A and B are shown apart, each in its own frame.
Chain A
Amino acid sequence: MITVRVPGPLRALTGGAAEVSLDAVTVRGALAELERKHPGVATRVLDASGAVHPFVRLFVGADDIGDLAGLETVLADRDELAIVPAIAGGAHA
């Protein structure tokens, strides 16, 4: 079981949940499972070709998946996968 940390802007798609626990072997698998549980999330993270959008970074623990094996990075039990989008905001509501 791993935990996906869902950023604020995507929580409307997870019923408000900031984290989602699921079973997955790889980062790509985790996103697929996340999409199955909460449709729409994966398209905010991956483009039509299955690559990570340029305005999103994925981290496993404190490691950028780019420094690991990208979407094929293998997850261990209790790993945390964080979705970190480029956000603005802070001045206006």
Chain B
Amino acid sequence: MTRRALVVGAGGLGGPLALALGAAGLELWIVDPDVVEASNLHRQVQFTPADVGQPKAARLAAAVVARGGVARGFQTRWTPDDADDLGEAMDLVVDGCDDPGTKFGVADWAVAAGTPYVIAAAVQLGGNAMAGAPGAACYRCLFEAPAPALQCATAGVLGPVVGAIGGVAAALAIGLVRGDRTHAGSIFVFDDLRAGADPRIVRFQPRPGCPACARAPVATRRAESA
């Protein structure tokens, strides 16, 4: 049976995520509102100069298909409102988008749907990837809310860093879709890839009162102690 994955973001992280998941045999639905810009090419290696001006989602889907995979792209910003149309019957959700609010929305939606998911992010020389699955602590258990814009600054990211973080995120995602829950409820943190590629792997506990976990399907919630 073909497994289907929703890929939110077709940029620096979404590229390696989609190429890896497509090569692993998953059918991909790729969502990104943007078009390829020349300034993206140094870190979004799935694109070529010929893609400039074209929708990222469609061009990434084409790159997956060119490698023998199955994918389609949607030029839209992921929102919870249309997620139920876009994300119906997904076996996996992966996020590599650059919008803090969208990351929380994607995670909340995956938790509510009982779907395993990976949230990946990279800034400057490091980043992180968080794996979630029903019954484990969720992204909103870890971080309660997005940081205000000033916290993000205008930090760019080194091209090879997104490849590394995206690769780790893809490995976590493939594990999840195969039923491996070893890292569900854990975050892999890479402080500085120049200094070494060993992540700090932190397993965290469900946060009492987490509003996202409260919306998870009842059968998948952790048994609560009386």
Contact = CB atoms under 8 A, between A and B. Distances in A.
A62 B200 contact: yes
A92 B144 contact: no
B152 A9 contact: yes
Contacts of A39: none
Contacts of A56: 143, 147
A1 interface: no
A6 to B, nearest CB: 8
A54 B157 contact: no
Contact of A90 (B13, B151, B195): B13
B126 A90 contact: no
Q: How large is the interface on A (under 10, 10 to 19, 20 to 34, 35 or more residues)?
A: 20 to 34
User: Chain A CB within 10 Å — which of B40, B123, B127 has the most?
Assistant: B123
B11 to A, nearest CB: 3
A55 B96 contact: no
A88 B12 contact: no
Contact of B127 (A5, A87, A91): A87
B97 A9 contact: no
A91 B143 contact: no
Contacts of B192: 8, 18
Contacts of A90: 9, 11-13, 96-98, 120-123, 127, 157, 162, 165-166
A79 interface: no
A92 B100 contact: no
Contact of B128 (A44, A54, A63, A84): A84
A59 B128 CA distance: 14
A87 B189 CA distance: 11
Interface of A: 5, 7-9, 11-12, 18, 44, 53-57, 59, 62-64, 66-67, 82, 84-93
